[in-house]
Amino acid sequence: MSLIDRLRAPSSRLSPTLSSRRRRSYWRPSLEGLEDRLVLSQAVAALHAPAQVHVLVTKTAQSSVAITVSGMNVTGVTQGAKSGVLNVAGSLTLSILGQEVTTPFSGTLTQGRNSRSSTTLNLNLQPIHFSTQGLNVDTGAIDLRLTATPRGGTLGRLLGSLGGSTTPSAAQMNATLNSAQLLGGLDSALGRVPTKLVSATPANGATSPVVNMALGPVNVKRLGLNVQLSKGANKPVPARLTATSGGGLLGGLFFSSITGGNKRALAAQINNLLREISAMQFP
């Protein structure tokens, strides 16, 4: 009997215990959100192909993704509504899965009363969308917060130098934020962003696999600098991977790697894929 025939079978033919167990394993529809969804896709139902089930990945299926910040470009600094709070705007360049992208940001710089007081730079990055070698990556908005504790170490003193009663210019901020020391501290903090695999749908013919992940949150201290990355309120950043059929090497790798199976098999396939992509280098 096919999976669809089982789902259509009258419940009176099943014992209460067996019926309940089957419903929990194969059919749990919900519209409350991606994490709560475990349903058959339309294509799967039509083809009677159980391997195409949209699978919610286990809580323990975690990996990591390296994020490297290569530069920040502050283009505007204006006085905020509150004293000691400045509005900033510009762009940030980072590398994720080996691909360098630049995304706009807006944010605030909350200055300490002097260079020895805590100063906080909060950057709200726009969602990231890019395609490389047939692989498509889409993330939600990202909140990057840097808090300086000058007495805690070199990096804290560096960011803390933007505090005080005077308003730093965009050039002054860029000189501080793009120093080799500060960027190195960010790379150290974001070198292994915890990545939870939320769900995965294998390829179906020319239809791309879909992998949904949650990046972070990150809360790491380095030499007086507290680095936090989230979508806000210390929640993980949603990210989605898809591929374009025939689009290139990474797209082909994505199609061939996500082949289906149970939760554990899918988690292993995705972890291996992330490792392979991260290890590749493209011009």
Q: Is residue 263 part of a domain?
A: no
Phi, psi of 56 (to 5 degrees): -85, 120
Residue 226 lies in a domain: no
Q: Supply the range of the domain harboring residue 169.
A: 65-129+141-190
d(CA 188, CA 180): 12
Residue 236 domain flag: no
Domain assignment present for residue 257? The answer is: no
In the 3-class helix/strand/coil scheme, how is 28-57 assigned residue by residue? ECCCCCHHHCECCCHHHHHHCCHHHCCEEC
Whether residue 215 lies inside any domain: the answer is no
In a domain, residue 211? The reply is: no
To 10 degrees, the CA torsion angle through 242, 243, 245, 246?
180
Is 36 a member of any domain? no
Whether 102 is in a domain gets the answer: yes
Tens of each residue's pLDDT in the chain, 283 residues = 543 444 345 444 444 443 444 344 333 333 333 333 333 333 333 323 333 445 555 454 568 898 999 999 999 999 988 877 999 999 999 999 888 999 999 999 999 887 678 999 999 999 999 999 999 999 999 999 999 998 899 999 999 999 888 899 999 999 999 999 999 999 999 999 999 888 889 888 888 999 999 999 999 999 999 999 999 999 999 999 999 988 899 999 999 988 888 878 888 888 888 888 877 766 5
Q: Could you give the number of structural domains in the chain?
A: 1
State both tokens at 75: 């283009």
The rounded distance, in Å, linking the Cα atoms of 20 and 17 is 5
